[in-house]
Structure 1
Amino acid sequence: MSHIARSSLLIAFFFGIDKVLGLARQMLVARQFGLSYDIDVFNVANNIPDLLSSLISGGALGVALLPVLSEYMQKNGRGSAWDLFSRILNLAFMATAALALVIALFAPSIVNIIAPGFPAEQKALATELMRLDLVAILIFSISGLVMAGLQSNQHFLLPALAPGLYNIGQIFGLLILVPAAGSRLGPLTLPGFGFGIHGLVYGVILGALLHLAIQVPGLARYHFHWAPAINLRHPGVRQVL
């Protein structure tokens, strides 16, 4: 079996696992919160950070980076490709941090626009959760691009595992951080920390950390060296943007 065929099967397998974990997460959300106001507040709080993540980290920018990085890898070698990767990574993190700061400062106004019918208490909670969600987005501004970096090296295993671990972080939050009382999972008795809807956001942050952490060994394997530079005039940076 060719390398491409093996990689395709691997991606398909872990894509299926991720979908199963995503379904389990949705079932746990329904069990823990049902149709409560808490989950409505969470969804409102997650709207803008999720959009930011889609645009900057694992979404549009990651898609634009991959072919350019692969081209640099083939023509100029791994060192040159990692140098370009560092510049894009630094730029993406700084842009995400700047936008996250703006969102954090104007979170109350954003919530008012998205959910004008919420009572004051729910608006305050949505504002708090939105600011917490931005921590995960900062992590994804790195992790989403690391996926492209590893894929440009024809390494697909760890990027394929990462989305499932993101779901596992959220499942951990739903099973352990959200409930006030312990719950049973088969023969196991799980503790409950009683964070409520905050526990779901903590699970999102944990999932983002796992999404990044599982890919770090791949960076080490391919001798990634971070360069503290941006340089918008770099031809590769301009090509990606």
Structure 2
Amino acid sequence: MTALAVSSLAAQEPAPPPVVGTWDLTLTARDGRPRPSWLEVHVSGNGVLVGRFVGVVGSVRPISRLTYANDTLRFAIPPQWEGGAADLQFAGVVTGDGLGGTITDPNGTPYPFTAVRAPALRRATPTWAAPLPLFNGKDLTGWHTVGGTNQWSAVNGVLTNAKGGANLVTDALYTDFKLHVEVRYPPRGNSGVYLRGRHEVQVEDSVVTNADAEATGGLGAIYGFLIPNQNAAKGAGKWEML
């Protein structure tokens, strides 16, 4: 009798709102270029919507509460690296199996966006092709920059960044891949490798800046998600493999 009662109660639970799940967002920047972002929405306890969000810059941020009413999903979170003092505001309307709306940054700048459900990661094991070099050792062929002033160049066969500035992005798009990267950074250097604009592999002088590494995870961390179980960094000026 107890088992039957539990099954009956479970059957009466309402279906989750259509916004629950993982979403790949594409924002339109002020220069007209597309920028990646993503959102996760979950049901917590008795129907409260919570989630996680990654903007165009920065790490994953928790969302303590989202509201969904009249086919519209809304939330607000404090600023991170965008600048400005106001909350970041999100408003998206469900259209079929997609989302569309506006993200307003802490400076009050609106960015229209569209969103589709993230693909399931359960798939057959891919057949790997021969390794493909992403850098030709001579120039920035196959790459373009986004945001800020370009400081990247090829110097003696090394892809080099002179100082903080634009991010470097591959022209080509890829499905499944294995990425091998060799990096070298200056004292107190802090950079990273973004994977699909979703996760950042931290590149940081975590031998010297231990206090900073506690916040970012240090070299090899997935920023905001995973911290290495040991600090294997060799230090500034030495080549590392990721």
After TM superposition, the score normalised by the length of structure 1 is 0.25
Structure with larger Rg: 2
- Structure (1 or 2) with the greater helix fraction: 1
Higher relative contact order (CA 8 A, sep 6+): 1
TM-score relative to the length of structure 2 = 0.25
